């Protein structure tokens, strides 16, 4: 999915509210926390992944509330009432011709969505709250929230540090400790703060949050409600979510493991899984992370000598052409090119016979270049981790290839046994010790 276009909805007082629309399915209004930037959201892979998952089962309508991101800024010190921010959401829904939507409030965006669901049940299909609370004010019956002096101290820190990388780093370490170790995320977070809100807008919205209390409207919510919260959320104590569930009739509560506040940090799939099941009745089956596969490794014979003989530039050109030919043969055999090994290729196949035939085809394709390859195949269980392929089967395949001679394709006994009836012919290449792999392995040579 490409980064969606950004559009603007006009409010009753003439301001412009930025929004994006992407995905297909029932409408889901995505209301993030008090700072946001619709376009920068896509620059962080973890955030983009969260949005893509939501878009896989809904038409997502994402907004930057007034005063933040790509929407119009507030006047200095301006604090729009909650009802005005809620009306902005309605304007966006009107703009995209959405009659009813699930309103999903993340962090303090939950205040807006709670008020919207209570005020406009006819336009609210369901209410989803993540990492939010019912009040920003401390009271004897809401003792886990900050007291006024703590809020003032925090806003003084914002006034003096907003926009500085050190302030952003300190905040991220508290706000999303599991993401703090990633340098790219730290750089993104510092830039995200600066481009999501000016110091005045950020403090104005934070002050509004600290003064808001929606506890009295919770019992009047009559739409299906899902409340999600991480048990060890460092920003919003989990007691706030438990309070909300007690007060909203029939609300469903799921308490998740985790030490992060933002939904894009930590295990965001666990959050989206719950939302998807709540809205569709279907829980997505996790993609398998371990599968049976045939691995193929190739290696150019005498690559060091070739490099010394022809020089760096011709050798680089030769490798480029070798890779092009090898990838074409892998694609033709319906395999998956995984990686270059420097002077060879690593690929996987869901059929061992196609892997063996691909190995011989690569050897024939590159022979006119004046080079030879050795190749090896093994079938076993591999572990999929994103684009990476791991597991003992990968090591065995690489070791089998290392045992091959020039223009030779070796396979493990597992491969030979699985391709019976394919028309492939083999001869016994003896038992061998494979470096780093237990036991002795019987290998077989492919016969043309």
* Secondary structure (DSSP) of 366-388: HGGGT--EEEEEEEEEEEEETTE
Average of per-residue pLDDT across 89-102: 95
270 and 364 in a single domain? The answer is no
Phi/psi for 185 (5° steps) reads -65, -40
In a domain, 196, yes or no: yes
Average of per-residue pLDDT across 129-146: 93
Ranges 111-125, 173-187, 265-279: which has the least confidence: 173-187
* pLDDT score of 26: 95
253 and 383 in a single domain? The answer is no
In a domain, 423, yes or no: yes
274 and 307 in a single domain? The answer is no
Burial class, 1, CB count within 10 angstroms (exposed 0-12 / middle 13-18 / buried 19+): exposed
Confidence of residue 179 (pLDDT cuts 50, 70, 90): confident
In a domain, 64, yes or no: yes
In the predicted structure, residue 30 carries a pLDDT above the cut 70: yes
Task: Provide the β-strand partners of residue 252.
Answer: 226
Cα–Cα distance, 176 to 301 (Å, whole number): 49
* pLDDT score of 201: 83
Tell whether the torsion through CA atoms of 23, 26, 27 and 32 is positive or negative: negative
Q: Write down which residue in 280, 315, 344 finishes a domain.
A: 280
Cα–Cα distance, 137 to 420 (Å, whole number): 73
* pLDDT score of 427: 95
Average of per-residue pLDDT across 411-429: 93
* pLDDT score of 277: 95
Pairing mode of beta strands 252-256, 225-230: parallel
Cα–Cα distance, 432 to 442 (Å, whole number): 6
Q: Which residue has the higher pLDDT, 286 or 369?
A: 369
300 and 251 in a single domain? The answer is no
377 and 249 in a single domain? The answer is no
Average pLDDT, the chain: 91
Biggest distance spanned by C-alpha atoms of the chain: 84
In the predicted structure, residue 144 carries a pLDDT above the cut 90: yes
In a domain, 361, yes or no: yes
Residues 6+ apart with CB under 8 A from 395: 436, 437
343 and 194 in a single domain? The answer is no
**Cβ neighbours around 281 below 10 Å, total:** 7
256 and 357 in a single domain? The answer is no
In the predicted structure, residue 76 carries a pLDDT above the cut 60: no
Which domain does 361 fall in, by range? 290-447
Average of per-residue pLDDT across 75-98: 84
Confidence of residue 77 (pLDDT cuts 50, 70, 90): low
Confidence of residue 27 (pLDDT cuts 50, 70, 90): very high
145 and 207 in a single domain? The answer is yes
* pLDDT score of 286: 62
* pLDDT score of 133: 93
303 and 256 in a single domain? The answer is no
251 and 332 in a single domain? The answer is no
Average of per-residue pLDDT across 216-232: 95
In a domain, 129, yes or no: yes
| Contact (CB, 8 A) for 225 and 126 | yes
Distances in Å between the Cα of 220 and the Cα atoms of 119, 226, 269 are 9, 15, 31
250 and 136 in a single domain? The answer is yes
* pLDDT score of 379: 95
In a domain, 1, yes or no: no
Q: Write down which residue in 256, 280, 304 finishes a domain.
A: 280
Cα–Cα distance, 393 to 401 (Å, whole number): 12
Residues 6+ apart with CB under 8 A from 387: 338
**DSSP element (H, E) containing 151:** helix 148-161
In a domain, 359, yes or no: yes
pLDDT > 90 in the chain, percent: 68
Structural domains counted in the chain: 2
Distances in Å between the Cα of 146 and the Cα atoms of 20, 139, 197, 419 are 34, 9, 23, 68
CB neighbour burial string for 194-214, b if at least 16 within 10 angstroms, e if fewer:
bbbbbbbbbbbbbbbbbebeb
Q: Write down which residue in 236, 262, 280 finishes a domain.
A: 280
374 and 436 in a single domain? The answer is yes
- CATH code of the domain in which 351 resides: 3.30.70.1230
Phi/psi for 123 (5° steps) reads -105, 0
- CATH code of the domain in which 230 resides: 3.40.50.1820
Of 92, 117, 83, the C-alpha closest to 102 is 117
Average of per-residue pLDDT across 9-23: 93
| Contact (CB, 8 A) for 297 and 342 | no
**DSSP element (H, E) containing 19:** strand 16-22
In a domain, 14, yes or no: yes
**How confident is the model over 374-397, as pLDDT tens digits?**
999 999 999 887 677 888 999 999
């Amino acid at each position: 999915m490409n980064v969606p276009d950004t559009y603007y909805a006009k409010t009753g007082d003439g301001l412009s509210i930025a929004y994006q629309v992407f995905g297909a399915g029932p409408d889901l209004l995505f209301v993030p926390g008090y700072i946001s930037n619709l376009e920068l959201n896509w620059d962080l892979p973890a955030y983009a992944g969260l949005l893509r998952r939501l878009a896989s089962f809904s038409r997502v309508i994402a907004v930057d509330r007034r005063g933040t991101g790509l929407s119009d800024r507030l006047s200095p010190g301006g604090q729009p009432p909650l009802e005005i921010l809620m009306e902005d959401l309605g304007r966006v829904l009107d703009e995209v011709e959405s009659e009813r939507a699930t309103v999903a409030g993340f962090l303090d965006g939950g205040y807006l969505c709670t008020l919207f669901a209570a005020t406009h049940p006819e336009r609210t299909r369901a209410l989803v709250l993540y990492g939010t609370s019912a009040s920003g004010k401390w009271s004897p019956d809401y003792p886990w929230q900050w007291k006024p002096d703590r809020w003032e101290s925090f806003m003084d820190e914002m006034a003096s540090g907003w926009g500085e990388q050190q302030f952003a780093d300190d905040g991220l370490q508290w706000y999303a400790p599991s993401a703090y170790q990633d340098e790219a995320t730290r750089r993104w977070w510092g830039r995200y703060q600066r481009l999501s809100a000016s110091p005045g807008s950020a403090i104005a919205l934070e002050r509004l949050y600290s003064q808001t209390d929606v506890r009295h409207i919770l019992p009047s919510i009559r739409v299906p409600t899902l409340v999600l919260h991480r048990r060890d959320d460092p920003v919003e104590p989990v007691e706030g979510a438990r309070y909300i569930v007690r007060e909203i009739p029939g609300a469903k509560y799921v308490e998740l493991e985790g030490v992060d506040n933002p939904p894009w940090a930590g295990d965001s799939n666990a959050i989206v899984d719950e939302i998807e099941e709540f809205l569709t009745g279907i829980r997505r089956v996790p993609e398998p992370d371990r599968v049976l596969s045939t691995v193929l490794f190739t290696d150019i014979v005498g690559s060091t000598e070739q490099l010394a003989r022809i020089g760096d530039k011709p050798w680089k050109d030769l490798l480029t052409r070798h890779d092009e030919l090898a990838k074409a043969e892998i694609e033709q055999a319906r395999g998956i090119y995984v990686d270059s090994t420097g002077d060879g290729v690593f690929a996987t196949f869901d059929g061992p016979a196609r892997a063996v035939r691909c190995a011989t085809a690569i050897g024939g394709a590159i022979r006119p270049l004046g080079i030879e390859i050795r190749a090896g195949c093994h079938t076993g269980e591999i572990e999929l981790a994103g684009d990476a392929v791991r597991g003992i089967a990968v090591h065995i395949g690489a070791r089998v290839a290392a045992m091959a001679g020039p223009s030779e394709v070796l396979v493990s006994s597992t491969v030979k046994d699985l391709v019976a009836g394919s028309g492939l012919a083999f001869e016994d290449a003896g038992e061998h010790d494979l470096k780093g792999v237990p036991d002795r392995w019987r290998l077989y040579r492919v016969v043309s």
